[in-house]
Amino acid sequence: MTDHPRIPLAGVIGHPIAHSRSPVLHGYWLRRYGLKGHYIPIDIAPSDLADLTRTLPRLGFVGVNVTIPHKEAILHIADIVTDRAALIGAANTLIFRKDGKIHADNTDGSGFIANLRQNAPNWMPTSGPAVVLGAGGAARAVVAALIEVGVPEIRLANRTRARADALRSDFGAKVHVQEWVQVGNLLDDAATVVNTTSLGMTGKPELSVPLDRLNPRALVTDLVYTPLKTQFLIEAEATGCTVVDGLGMLLHQAAPGFERWFGIRPDVDDATRKAVLQG
Ligand code: NAP
C-alpha cells in the first residue's frame, strides 16, 4: 500500500458559521499560492465543542480559527495557551501540534495594529489617549494591543459598566472607565478612536456619538466591516479625520494561522481585499 502524504485541512469553528468570510479568504490564498490544502467552515454546537475539536486532528486538520461563541470556551480545551490569549481571555487560532497538543493563540490584537499601520502609516499611537467604545471580546484584544504599542491612556466606555470595570482590573491603570452616555466628552485630544461594539453593523442600530469634540488629527477605526464604511466612519471622515475600516483587521488576523498551517506567510494587499469583498 502506498503511503500518500495527507493534504492539510484547516477551517473555522463557530455556531452558526455560514456568515464567516474566513473560508473565502483562506481559499483565495490557497489558490493564489498554488498550495495543496482545504479550509472548511465547521458548525459546532457549544455542547459538542470539546469532543469535536479533539477529533479534528485525527481527520487531518492542522488547525482551525475559532469564532463566536467558542472563543472563550476554547481556552479550557486547549493544552497550551499563549500569554496574550490568556490575558485577553479568548483565542481565535488553534494549531494542532504533531505531539497531539492543542495550542491556542489570539491574533486579533496584532491584526488590529497591522491594519492601522498598513492603512494609516502616519498614525502615532503614542501621541495621545485612545478612546475605546465597547468592552466585549474584541475590545479586550484591542486594549491589549494598544497597551503593547505604547498608548499612554485608554478611555473606555461600555453600555454595561461592569464589563468595562472588569477590563480595567485585568489591564491596569492605563485604562480609565467612563460612562457610556458621556462618550462624546472623551474625544478631546484623543489620537485614536475605536468602535469595538457591534453597533453600526448591518441589521443593528447605528453607533451614535457626537463628534464635535473630535480632533481632526485623530485616527478613527471601526471593527465592524459590514458595511465596509460604517455611518460612524462616514461622520468621522467628514470632520477631517483619517479613517480605517475593519476589513483589514480580519485579513491580518488570519495571516499567522495560514502561515502555520500551510507554510507560507500570505500577503494582505488590495487583491486580497477584493477577493474577500467579491466572495
Ligand atoms: P461581544 O463580545 O458580543 O461584544 C459586543 C459589544 O457591543 C459589547 O461591548 C456590547 O456592550 C456592545 N453592544 C452590543 N449591542 C449594543 C447596543 N445596542 N448598545 C450599546 N452597546 C452594544 O462581541 P465582540 O466579539 O467583542 O465583537 C464586537 C464587534 O467587533 C462585532 O461587530 C464583530 O463582528 C467585530 N469584530 C471584528 C473583527 C475584525 O476582524 N474586524 C474582529 C473581532 C470582532 P454590552 O457589554 O453592554 O453588551
Q: Quick one: pLDDT band at residue 121, thresholds 50, 70, 90?
A: very high
Query: How much is the pLDDT for 3?
Result: 61
User: What residues have CB less than 8 Å from 146, skipping those under 6 apart?
Assistant: 125, 130, 132, 154, 192, 194
Residue 14 sits at the vertex; the CA angle it makes with 10 and 273, to the nearest 5 degrees, is 65
Q: Which entry of 36, 71, 204, 274 is annotated as an active-site residue? A: 71
pLDDT tens column, 156-184 = 999 999 999 999 999 999 999 999 999 99
**Average confidence (pLDDT) over 56-63:** 97
5 pLDDT higher than 80: no
Predicted local confidence at residue 6, as pLDDT: 85
Task: Indicate yes or no: pTM above 0.85.
Answer: yes
What separation in angstroms does the CA of 225 have from each of 170, 197, 233?
28, 12, 11
Q: Tens of pLDDT along 33-54? A: 999 999 999 999 999 999 999 9
Active site residue 98: no
What whole-number distance in Å separates Cα of residue 216 and Cα of residue 203? 29
Q: For the chain, what is the mean pLDDT?
A: 96
pLDDT score of 103 more than 50: yes
Which amino acid residue places its CA nearest to atom 11 of ligand 1? 159
Phi/psi-derived region of residue 100, left when phi > 0, alpha when psi is between -120 and 50, beta in every other case: left
Atom of ligand 1 nearest to the CA of 159: 47
Ligand 1: centre distance to CA 262 (Å):
30
Confidence (pLDDT) at 1: 46
User: Rounded to whole angstroms, how far apart are CA atoms 224 and 227?
Assistant: 7
> For ligand 1, what atom is nearest to the CA of residue 198?
32
| Complete domains list, the chain, with CATH | 9-106+250-278 (3.40.50.10860), 109-245 (3.40.50.720)
Mean pLDDT across the stretch 90-113? 98
The answer to whether the CB of 208 falls within 8 A of the CB of 196 is no
pLDDT at residue 176, rounded to an integer: 98
Question: What pLDDT score was predicted for residue 183?
Answer: 94
10-34, pLDDT tens digit by residue? Answer: 999 999 999 899 999 999 999 999 9
As to burial, measured by CB atoms within 10 angstroms (0-12 exposed, 13-18 middle, 19+ buried), residue 227 is: middle
Q: How many CB atoms lie within 10 A of CB 120?
A: 16
- CA of residue 97 to ligand 1 center, whole Å: 31
Q: Is the dihedral of CA 86, 90, 95, 101 positive or negative?
A: positive
Choice from 178, 198, 201 to test ligand 1 binding pocket (greatest atom count within 8 A of CB): 198
Name residue, grid cell 465596509.
228
Taking the CA of residue 66 as centre, how many other CA atoms within 13 Å lie in the half-sphere pointing to its CB? 31
Starting at the edge strand that comes first in sequence, how are the strands of the sheet with 154-157 ordered?
175-178, 154-157, 130-133, 192-195, 219-222, 242-244
